[in-house]
Structure 1
Amino acid sequence: MIPTYRKQFNQDFSQEKYSQLKEILRQKSGLEPGFRVSESPIFLTQEFKHKLIDATESIIDQIKALPVELLQKAVPENCKVPNDTAQPHFFTIDFGICSNEKGEVEPQLIELQAFPSLYAFQKAYEETFCEVYPFLDEIKNPMSPEDFKNYLKEVIVGDENPENVVLLEIFPEKQKTAIDFAFTEKLLGIPTVCLTKIKKEGRKLYYDNNGTLTQIKRIYNRVIFDELDKIPNLTTEFDFRDEVDVQWITHPNWFFKISKFLLPLLHHQYVPKSYFLHEFPSDEKLEDFVLKPLFSFAGSGVNLNPTQEITDAISDKENYILQRKVSYSPIFEDINGEFSKAEIRLLYIWRENDERPILLENLGRMTKAAMVNVDFNKKDAIWIGSSNVFFG
């Protein structure tokens, strides 16, 4: 997309520098990434960034205009958590980098979430790219690391003592995103605590802080609530549905409210047409659509080639959508003259008294496979995996 930066990067690239990139990330965090880190950043133009922002601002307007009762319908009865909030603390939105009928490169909405992503990791990743390839400094994110830290601290820690704020996950050491937890701990001074270690006394929650039982006042929640039912023999003192004296960052109900549930309700030239499965019109062709469960994570359950037989067999059709297929552009050239496709996720925070969210950082994902998920790539492929977008 920006030939000058792509050419310079490919000329400067070496396997030694790739190893250096990964080693710096390991030294900074103390962990190996649990996912594949791409060799290359993604380069996009300011014009493309304006298209992303235009689409996102329109989508935010549409979400703000939706009735509260409609959003509440998205939350399954067995997953409703007390003390909901007026808006989420996080807003992330994924766009495919696609080609339209004219061959023009444009963004196309893939999905959106009110759930935290790899905020701390992505900032460190961007800084590390700039350390290894200093020429990237001139097109890096204009938000300074200090401003980034202050924004994230304001949202997650607020006015509390960091020891009374926890990053909550289930078996965090087993999660692919554990490196982000480590960066978050270093950035904000908050501990990562497993849900199974939480102690409950009345309405108060506690964790073991080096032998001292310490009250939890704010939870930076990284648990996918509806995933808990899939864990066999899970024993916890604390259930999300309990009435407790904590502030959720962000409240678990928002995971459902801003999700694929909204896709059929949104309209924009960069939003592919979507339908709930039970409302799919007879004049549309199934082969033009992708089948997605409403509340899956990391691409699980997505069917790129749904058939009538497959959709007929689904009993809870209201929990699935069909989204019109988009054409990803293979435009990111590697050192072998092969091309990758990519998605970009914009990472916003939404402060409690703000009318609109603030864009902090981005996350890129590169692939040479049909799905933008590294598990679907050939093992010897390059220019695949987690990346970061630089706008020139």
Structure 2
Amino acid sequence: MIPKYRKQFNQEFSDEKYKQLKEILAQKSGMQPAFRISESPIFLTKEFEGKLLDASESILSQIKALPAELLQKAVPDNCRVPNDTDQPHFFTIDFGVCKNENGEIEPQLIELQAFPSLYAFQKAYEDTFCEVYPFLSDIRNTMPHETFKQHLKEVIVGDENPEHVILLEIFPEKQKTAIDFALTEKLLGIKTVCLTKIKKEGKRLFYENKGKQIEIKRIYNRVIFDELDRIPDLVTEFDFREEVEVKWITHPNWFFKISKFLLPLLQHQFVPKSYFLHEFPESENLEDFVLKPLFSFAGGGVNLNPTKEITDAIKDKENYILQRKVNYEPIFEDINGDFAKAEIRLLYVWKENDDHPILLENLGRMTKAAMVNVDFNKKDAIWIGSSNAFFAEG
């Protein structure tokens, strides 16, 4: 798509520039990314961007109209955290770049979450693409860097001293997203702290910095709560389910409330039909659907070719959905004349007193594999991995 920019990028591309792209990201963050960085940005038309935004607006309106008690049903009892909020601080929504039966390129909803993504990294990544390929600056995100920083700071730090705000993760140095943590620290002046290092006194939480105990007043939460049970012999002083005097950014319950749980409830031409597994009608053909656990992360547990034997063997069918398959279209041409497929994630922040979230950035994923996830790519391919989308007139 957008032949002009694709042609120019492919002509300017070199292995040296790809190496330079990764080196600049490493310099900005102080570390190498633990996931594959795509050689190429994703070029999409303004018309396609309009379709993305139209679908997102419709989906947001539908979610806001849902009763709070319905959303509460999505939260497992063993994962419920006290002091829930009226709305989340983050909203991210993933669309595949697909082709419809009329041969038109259009977005199709893949999933959505009220959970933070790689906000700081994607801004640095977009900036770096523009540094290495200056012509991209003509079609970059129009939001100034300071405005981006201010929006993110207002949501995560608020009016608090950054010393009392932490990015919380479990074993953060082992996470593939550690580069985003490092860039967030530099951008906002907050510390990344492992859950195992949190100290608790009554209802107050503390972390240690340079030998001092610092009280935690706001938690930028990056822990997938339900994954904690899968970590053997995990010892912590603080349990999420306890009442504590902190502000969650965003509250952990929203991870469950805005999730695949909502997919069967949403309607739009860019939303594939979905069913809870226990409600899958006999009139539908199982071969036309993908099986997904409700609360998996990074593509875990997804089955592209479910069979009746597989679905019959699942005991907790209410915790799975079947989503109609979509056709990711390989339209992103590499320097060898091969084509990659892609997925776009829109990254919103939602300020507490605002009726509507603000779109800050996007995250792209490119692949030549069956699943659009960086973990499923072949190691020797190009034009695959994490990317960033640029939109221009086609």
Interval containing the TM-score (normalised by the shorter chain): over 0.9
Shift of 1:303: 0.1
Secondary structure of the structure 1 residue equivalent to 2:213 = strand
Secondary structure of the structure 1 residue equivalent to 2:375 = helix
Question: For residue 241 of structure 2, what is the aligned residue in structure 1?
Answer: 241
Matched, 1:177 2:177: yes
In 1: Cα distance, 2:224 partner to 2:128 partner: 29
Question: For residue 81 of structure 2, what is the aligned residue in structure 1?
Answer: 81
Give, as a single letter, the amino acid of the residue that structure 2 aligns with 1:136: L
> What is the correspondence of 1:338-357 to structure 2 with a 5 Å cutoff?
338-357=338-357
In 2: Cα distance, 1:193 partner to 1:378 partner: 33
Identity of aligned residues (%): 82
Question: For residue 211 of structure 2, what is the aligned residue in structure 1?
Answer: 211
User: Does structure 1 conserve the Cα–Cα contact (< 8 Å) formed by 2:286 and 2:308?
Assistant: yes
Shift of 1:288: 0.1
Question: For residue 160 of structure 2, what is the aligned residue in structure 1?
Answer: 160
Count of paired positions = 392
* Cα deviations by residue, 1:192-251 (Å, 9 ceiling, x for unpaired): 000000000000000001111000000000000000000000000000001000000000
* Cα deviations by residue, 1:112-157 (Å, 9 ceiling, x for unpaired): 0000000000000000000000000000000011000000000000
* Cα deviations by residue, 1:300-344 (Å, 9 ceiling, x for unpaired): 000000000000000000000000000001000000000000000
Give, as a single letter, the amino acid of the residue that structure 2 aligns with 1:167: L
Q: 5+ residue gaps in structure 2? A: none
User: Does structure 1 conserve the Cα–Cα contact (< 8 Å) formed by 2:377 and 2:385?
Assistant: no
Give, as a single letter, the amino acid of the residue that structure 2 aligns with 1:333: E
> What is the correspondence of 1:262-277 to structure 2 with a 5 Å cutoff?
262-277=262-277
Shift of 1:292: 0.1
Question: For residue 147 of structure 1, what is the aligned residue in structure 2?
Answer: 147
Secondary structure of the structure 1 residue equivalent to 2:295 = coil
Question: For residue 113 of structure 1, what is the aligned residue in structure 2?
Answer: 113
In 2: Cα distance, 1:338 partner to 1:356 partner: 40
Question: For residue 32 of structure 1, what is the aligned residue in structure 2?
Answer: 32
Cα RMSD (Å) of the superposition? 0.4
Secondary structure of the structure 2 residue equivalent to 1:244 = coil
> What is the correspondence of 1:53-132 to structure 2 with a 5 Å cutoff?
53-132=53-132
Matched, 1:198 2:198: yes
Question: For residue 368 of structure 2, what is the aligned residue in structure 1?
Answer: 368
Matched, 1:323 2:323: yes
* Cα deviations by residue, 1:50-90 (Å, 9 ceiling, x for unpaired): 00000000000000000000000000000000000000000
Shift of 1:38: 0.2
In 2: Cα distance, 1:125 partner to 1:210 partner: 31
Question: For residue 252 of structure 1, what is the aligned residue in structure 2?
Answer: 252
Secondary structure of the structure 1 residue equivalent to 2:38 = coil
Shift of 1:373: 1.5
In 2: Cα distance, 1:294 partner to 1:96 partner: 18
Question: For residue 5 of structure 2, what is the aligned residue in structure 1?
Answer: 5
Shift of 1:382: 0.2
In 2: Cα distance, 1:137 partner to 1:377 partner: 29
Give, as a single letter, the amino acid of the residue that structure 2 aligns with 1:146: E
> What is the correspondence of 1:292-331 to structure 2 with a 5 Å cutoff?
292-331=292-331
In 1: Cα distance, 2:73 partner to 2:210 partner: 42
Shift of 1:106: 0.1
Give, as a single letter, the amino acid of the residue that structure 2 aligns with 1:288: D
Shift of 1:374: 2.5
Secondary structure of the structure 1 residue equivalent to 2:363 = strand
Give, as a single letter, the amino acid of the residue that structure 2 aligns with 1:312: D
Secondary structure of the structure 2 residue equivalent to 1:347 = strand
Normalised TM-score (structure 1): 1.00
In 2: Cα distance, 1:65 partner to 1:380 partner: 46
* Cα deviations by residue, 1:331-365 (Å, 9 ceiling, x for unpaired): 00000000000000000000000001000000000
In 2: Cα distance, 1:255 partner to 1:343 partner: 21
* Cα deviations by residue, 1:247-273 (Å, 9 ceiling, x for unpaired): 000000000000000000000000000
Shift of 1:377: 2.1
> What is the correspondence of 1:217-228 to structure 2 with a 5 Å cutoff?
217-228=217-228
Secondary structure of the structure 2 residue equivalent to 1:310 = helix
